């Protein structure tokens, strides 16, 4: 019940296309859902996050869509660029528990 | 602004040798601190987290230990390294009631 299932494991997208990464959870106590971007040899960087009281959050080319009833959330990268090639992790956390549950990661490659 | 430091950046150690990795955070007080390990091409494994000085929670029983001697200092140690301890070690912090978690640059450990 503490798991966050992330898919796909890897993704190849053409430049200018839309990249979509999905995550699903079971624990309804989760109330914060961040996405992280990690380049090789670097620490993950917080990209965008959402609370369950909204269904969508957009920051530039990055959008989180959140479906509370389905217990799913996804990251959409519009107009994908080669510089977006990285590994993306979703996560979920419950306020006050201090523990972040991470998905297994998606390796995105954007072809020029 | 807040900054998180980790050192060393890379480390090559023989099997059976001790380990000490250090993490410090600047620009905040009483952070929640975390140690993760990431195997090559894999996800993030939570090793330890701390919500205050001297308060350490262990997630994975193994030959690693953690200590928090000061508010913004988190140390990962081992008395005798195993080959399986090789990996990318990441320190992270979160600011109390705020749920955003920020990662350090990481330490690449190779046990030979």
Buried b (16+ CB within 10 A) or exposed e, A63-101: bbbbeeeebebbbbbeebeeebbbbbbbbbbbeeebebb
* Residue A40 in contact with partner chain B when CB distance is under 8 A: no
* Residue B56 in contact with partner chain A when CB distance is under 8 A: no
Tell me the average pLDDT across A84-106.
93
* Residue A3 in contact with partner chain B when CB distance is under 8 A: no
DSSP-derived secondary structure for A58-89: EETTEEEEEETTTTEEEEEESS--GGG-EEEE
Tokens of B73: 């200092």
From the list A42, A89, A99, the residue facing B46 with the nearest CB is A99
At B29 the pLDDT is 87
In tens, the pLDDT along B82-104 reads 999 999 999 999 986 668 899 99
Q: What is the mean pLDDT of chain B?
A: 92
Give the C-alpha separation, A50 to B47, whole Å. Answer: 25
Residues of chain B with Cβ-Cβ distance to A49 below 8 Å are 99-100
* Residue B108 in contact with partner chain A when CB distance is under 8 A: yes
Tokens of A34: 């961040």
Residues of chain B with Cβ-Cβ distance to A36 below 8 Å are 103
At B97 the pLDDT is 63
CA torsion through residues B49, B54, B55, B60, sign: positive
Tell me the average pLDDT across A39-68.
95
Q: What is the mean pLDDT of chain A?
A: 95
Cross-chain residue pair A46–B100, CB shorter than 8 Å: yes
CA distances from B23 to A50, B5, B19 (A): 28, 6, 13
In tens, the pLDDT along B37-86 reads 998 888 899 999 999 998 999 888 688 999 999 999 999 999 999 999 99
A18 vs B27 pLDDT, higher one: A18
* Residue A102 in contact with partner chain B when CB distance is under 8 A: yes
Chain B: give the shortest CA distance to residue A73, in Å: 17
At A90 the pLDDT is 97
Give the least confident one: A12-21, B5-14, B44-53.
B44-53
Nearest to B80 by CA among B68, B92, B98, B65: B65
At B41 the pLDDT is 81
In tens, the pLDDT along A25-46 reads 999 999 999 999 999 999 999 9
Asked if B31 and B51 touch (Cβ cutoff 8 Å), the reply is no
* Residue A95 in contact with partner chain B when CB distance is under 8 A: yes
* Three-state secondary structure call for residue B85: helix
In tens, the pLDDT along B19-39 reads 999 999 999 888 999 999 998
Residues of chain B with Cβ-Cβ distance to A46 below 8 Å are 100-102
Tell me the average pLDDT across A74-81.
98
Cross-chain residue pair A100–B101, CB shorter than 8 Å: yes
At B99 the pLDDT is 81
């Amino acid at each position: 019940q503490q798991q966050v299932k992330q898919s796909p494991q890897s993704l190849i997208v053409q430049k200018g296309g839309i990249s979509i990464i999905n995550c699903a959870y079971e624990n309804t106590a989760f109330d914060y859902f961040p996405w992280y971007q990690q380049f090789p040899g670097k620490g993950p960087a917080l990209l965008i996050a959402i609370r369950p009281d909204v269904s969508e959050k957009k920051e530039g080319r990055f959008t989180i869509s959140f479906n509370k009833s389905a217990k799913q959330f996804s990251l959409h990268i519009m107009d994908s660029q080669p510089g977006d090639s990285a590994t993306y992790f979703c996560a979920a956390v419950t306020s006050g528990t201090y523990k972040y549950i991470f998905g297994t990661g998606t390796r995105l490659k954007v072809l020029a | 602004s807040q900054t998180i430091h980790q050192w060393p950046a890379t480390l090559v150690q023989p099997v059976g040798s001790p380990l000490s990795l250090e993490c410090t955070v600047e620009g905040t007080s009483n952070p929640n601190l975390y140690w993760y390990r990431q195997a090559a091409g894999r996800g993030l494994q939570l090793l330890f987290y701390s919500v205050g000085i001297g308060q350490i929670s262990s997630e994975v029983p193994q030959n690693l230990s953690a200590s928090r001697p000061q508010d913004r200092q988190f140390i990962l140690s081992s008395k005798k390294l195993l080959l399986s301890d090789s990996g990318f070690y990441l320190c992270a912090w979160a600011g109390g009631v705020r749920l955003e978690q920020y990662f350090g640059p990481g330490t690449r450990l190779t046990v030979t």
